[in-house]
Chains A and B, each alone.
Chain A
Amino acid sequence: MGITRRSFLRRAAVVLAGVAAAGAGWSYLKGLAQSANEAPDQAASLPSAPVQQRTPQPHHWAFVVDTTKCIGCGKCVAACKEENNVPEDPHFNRTWVERYVIDEQGEAYVDSPDAGVHGFESWPVNSKYQNIQVVKSFFVSKLCNQCENPPCVQVCPVGATYKTEDGVILVNRSRCIGCRYCIQACPYGARFLDPNLRVADKCTWCYHRISKGMDPACVEVCPVGARMFGDPADPDSAVAKALRENRISVLKPNLGTRPQVFYIGLDQEVR
């Protein structure tokens, strides 16, 4: 019996090795067949000139949204779509603008028509709340919070979603298998599956721009300065000043994700 058992084990090992080799070969071939024009990594993927130097700067970036300033024009959403080749479809967004309307009874009405890309001025968006006694209303822009403790990075089975040394969360598009676990794990609805590349996508704070010393596109186009970006370690930066001079809060602090997008004037209704 000993002999047969041994021979069985030997054979089993051969079979297993064969299966593994076949699998590896198959995935390698498929890898070769992938479209050549596909951007390998969000960090270097974007339409502007490729980043020459990608060594992370000794920064730790932060983003500040001043909800008291936002006028809901939607320029940031449009600029983001253009800068980052985000699909036109309003169901895929790296950033969006929400409108909050609160009535006499304290009831909150929230909407974000077409993710706010066209603003809120046109009919019927504009006239929607005519029958309500509005007590207060405001706009809140949303984007990836580049969480210090990001659940999306934690759950990614292949490590395609990762954190850069300067604190930005990126998706490596050549590694993502499109399982969408990160979309489930993000508490903020910041992620989507790119309908063309079939991989996860989300805001990068325009990593290709910030690593060259520029501001993210949304920050640059905001006409009222409701979006600020920079390194809080630099005392002269707009974010450092905003963080110093205001009472700030983050979204869903109870989840322990430690967002790096800080809000000024956040209402308790905002989630």
Chain B
Amino acid sequence: MNGFIYPNEAETAWGLLIVLYPYITGLVAGAFVVSSLYHAFGIEKLRPLARFSLLTALAFVLIAPVPLLAHLGRPERAFEIFITPNFRSAMAGFGYILLFYTGLLVVETWLAFRRDIVRRSEAATGLRRAFYSALTLGSRDVSERALRLDAKVIRVLAIVGIPSAFLLHGYVGFLFGSIKANPWWSTPLMPIIFLISAIVSGVALLIVLYIVATALRRQPLNHSSVAELAKWLLLFLLVDLTLEGLEVLSMAYENEEGWAIVSQLLTQKLAVSFFGIQILLGAILPIVVLGGLALTDRLGQRVRTTLSLGTALLVLVGIFAMRWNVVIGGQLFSKSLRGFKSFAPPLTGNESVVEALIILSLPFFLLALFAVLLPPWEKEAALEGAGVPEPTVTIPIPSRLVGPRAR
């Protein structure tokens, strides 16, 4: 501690788990957007990933409340947020939004995999058969007509899901952006910054997961899908960096009472995690690499994919740093604007590094489980279905949505 902090501020109210929470919801929103790029907008190059990104979003959304619950002083009362919500609170809507969004993801996933569920229930015996039969919820019609209807509903959900994903994550930004007591949080740009960075992190995560999963399955990689994701990553990164720059620039230019301490926060306390990791390694360097890839077509596919993988990993670290810089950074200075304290999460125990790592690994396990239960890769799913007549279902896309990308 240096300078003066209010005596009650010695304890950091929101720790590592609250850093994790926007990180995870961000990945959900981003993964969903990737799946919707195909399901809603028909971007064919992303088709191989569409089902997998849906499962990714589902796996992460199911874990999203865990860090929050683990952080509450009285987790056993968490349900109060549904029973006695105070709607003037930005936090009160959280439960409902998350519930709605989870429901939407469950339904969309179920529809997207319904044919496979029916197939597996028919092919399997015993317990396995019972399991998949239950999963069909009695809906066994996989005629071409039925599947076409499914595809339509999926498309509607994929479209409805986009504003919902935006709501989910923009809202997380609002939780921070609406706290006028904190000059580092209080900016109307916060929701939109959270939203764009969410998409950035989700796209990066899918690049990594897709490459790793394909390697694990020893399947040939679809390089053009990776290249497509890399393009989207570049686009969203550019918007993200612009917004973050704008935020700091306007704070500095307005130079209000709080800027004196916020500027010290950035240049001293957060110098490494903000300028070094979030901005330089997490945004500028990836933009340079991805921008270079977009401008030249000289490099071979493997090199391009490797570079995309490297940048995606950097971006994932950079976005984590961004969450840290907001959540922890905003608590490192006193609201008396007179001093700083330091914060390092404990290694073990409550709100510790170990706890955070465990929680962060949960969605990956869940995803692995999902991938066993439901075939995320269309081609393999199709092989499974040998014998069952293969209806060719293409998603009807209104012509106005079909840009040059969907060729």
- By a beta-carbon cutoff of 8 Å, the part of chain A in contact with chain B is 1, 4-5, 7-8, 11-12, 16, 23-24, 26-27, 30-31, 33-34, 90-93, 96, 98, 110-112, 114-115, 142, 151, 153-159, 175-181, 183-193, 197-200, 254-256, 271
Q: Are A184 and B179 in contact (CB under 8 A)?
A: yes
Q: Are B86 and A157 in contact (CB under 8 A)?
A: yes
A198 and B84 alpha carbons, distance in the complex (Å): 19
In the complex, residue of chain B having the shortest beta-carbon distance to the beta carbon of A152: B181
Q: Are B7 and A112 in contact (CB under 8 A)?
A: yes
- By a beta-carbon cutoff of 8 Å, the part of chain B in contact with chain A is 3-11, 13-14, 68, 71-86, 88-92, 94, 103, 107, 137-141, 143, 145-146, 149, 175, 179-182, 257, 331, 334-338
- Could you write out 25 A-B pairs with CB less than 8 Å apart? A1-B143, A7-B137, A12-B107, A30-B77, A31-B76, A31-B77, A91-B11, A114-B7, A155-B90, A157-B85, A157-B89, A157-B92, A176-B73, A179-B72, A180-B13, A180-B14, A180-B73, A181-B175, A184-B13, A189-B7, A189-B9, A193-B11, A198-B73, A255-B180, A255-B181
CB proximity of A128 to chain B, nearest CB, Å: 13
* The residue from A91, A156, A175 contacting B10, defined by CB atoms under 8 A apart: A91
A110 and B4 alpha carbons, distance in the complex (Å): 6
Query: What 6 A-B pairs are tightest by C-beta distance, nearest first?
Result: A178-B73, A189-B6, A30-B76, A198-B73, A27-B79, A187-B181
Which residues of A have CB within 8 Å of B90? Answer: 155
Q: Are A177 and B4 in contact (CB under 8 A)?
A: no
CB proximity of A203 to chain B, nearest CB, Å: 11
In the complex, residue of chain A having the shortest beta-carbon distance to the beta carbon of B6: A189
- 15 other contacts beyond A1-B146, A30-B76, A181-B91, with CB at 8 A cut-off? A5-B149, A24-B83, A33-B76, A112-B4, A142-B6, A158-B80, A175-B77, A175-B80, A176-B73, A177-B77, A177-B78, A178-B72, A187-B335, A190-B8, A255-B180
CB proximity of B175 to chain A, nearest CB, Å: 8
CB proximity of A90 to chain B, nearest CB, Å: 6
CB proximity of A17 to chain B, nearest CB, Å: 13
A16 and B100 alpha carbons, distance in the complex (Å): 11
CB proximity of B173 to chain A, nearest CB, Å: 14
CB proximity of A269 to chain B, nearest CB, Å: 9
CB proximity of B133 to chain A, nearest CB, Å: 12
Q: Are A176 and B7 in contact (CB under 8 A)?
A: no
Which residues of B have CB within 8 Å of A254? Answer: 257
Which residues of A have CB within 8 Å of B85? Answer: 157-159
Q: Are A199 and B11 in contact (CB under 8 A)?
A: no
Q: Are A185 and B7 in contact (CB under 8 A)?
A: no
Q: Are B84 and A159 in contact (CB under 8 A)?
A: yes
Which residues of A have CB within 8 Å of B107? Answer: 12
Q: Are B338 and A271 in contact (CB under 8 A)?
A: yes
A11 and B89 alpha carbons, distance in the complex (Å): 34
Say yes or no: A158-B76 contact (C-beta < 8 A), given A115-B7, A188-B6: no
Which residues of A have CB within 8 Å of B4? Answer: 98, 110-112
Q: Are A189 and B336 in contact (CB under 8 A)?
A: yes
A48 and B136 alpha carbons, distance in the complex (Å): 62
In the complex, residue of chain A having the shortest beta-carbon distance to the beta carbon of B9: A189
Which residues of B have CB within 8 Å of A156? Answer: 86, 89
* The residue from B9, B137, B331 contacting A12, defined by CB atoms under 8 A apart: B137
Q: Are A157 and B94 in contact (CB under 8 A)?
A: yes
A176 and B331 alpha carbons, distance in the complex (Å): 22
Q: Are B336 and A158 in contact (CB under 8 A)?
A: no
CB proximity of A46 to chain B, nearest CB, Å: 19
* The residue from A7, A151, A185 contacting B139, defined by CB atoms under 8 A apart: A7
A252 and B180 alpha carbons, distance in the complex (Å): 11
CB proximity of A261 to chain B, nearest CB, Å: 15
Which residues of A have CB within 8 Å of B83? Answer: 24, 27
A11 and B74 alpha carbons, distance in the complex (Å): 33
A11 and B137 alpha carbons, distance in the complex (Å): 7
Which residues of A have CB within 8 Å of B75? Answer: 177
A178 and B14 alpha carbons, distance in the complex (Å): 11
In the complex, residue of chain A having the shortest beta-carbon distance to the beta carbon of B93: A157
Q: Are B89 and A27 in contact (CB under 8 A)?
A: no
Q: Are B8 and A189 in contact (CB under 8 A)?
A: yes
In the complex, residue of chain A having the shortest beta-carbon distance to the beta carbon of B11: A91
A256 and B5 alpha carbons, distance in the complex (Å): 22
Which residues of B have CB within 8 Å of A7? Answer: 137-139
CB proximity of B329 to chain A, nearest CB, Å: 13
Which residues of A have CB within 8 Å of B88? Answer: 153-154
Give the interface centre of B3, B8, B140 by most chain A CB atoms within 10 Å: B8
In the complex, residue of chain A having the shortest beta-carbon distance to the beta carbon of B330: A184
CB proximity of A169 to chain B, nearest CB, Å: 14
Q: Are B84 and A26 in contact (CB under 8 A)?
A: no
Give the interface centre of B72, B73, B180, B338 by most chain A CB atoms within 10 Å: B73
In the complex, residue of chain A having the shortest beta-carbon distance to the beta carbon of B10: A91
In the complex, residue of chain B having the shortest beta-carbon distance to the beta carbon of A158: B80
Q: Are A8 and B13 in contact (CB under 8 A)?
A: no
A197 and B74 alpha carbons, distance in the complex (Å): 9
Q: Are B77 and A23 in contact (CB under 8 A)?
A: no
Q: Are A181 and B8 in contact (CB under 8 A)?
A: no
Give the interface centre of B9, B78, B107, B141 by most chain A CB atoms within 10 Å: B78
Which residues of B have CB within 8 Å of A155? Answer: 89-91, 179
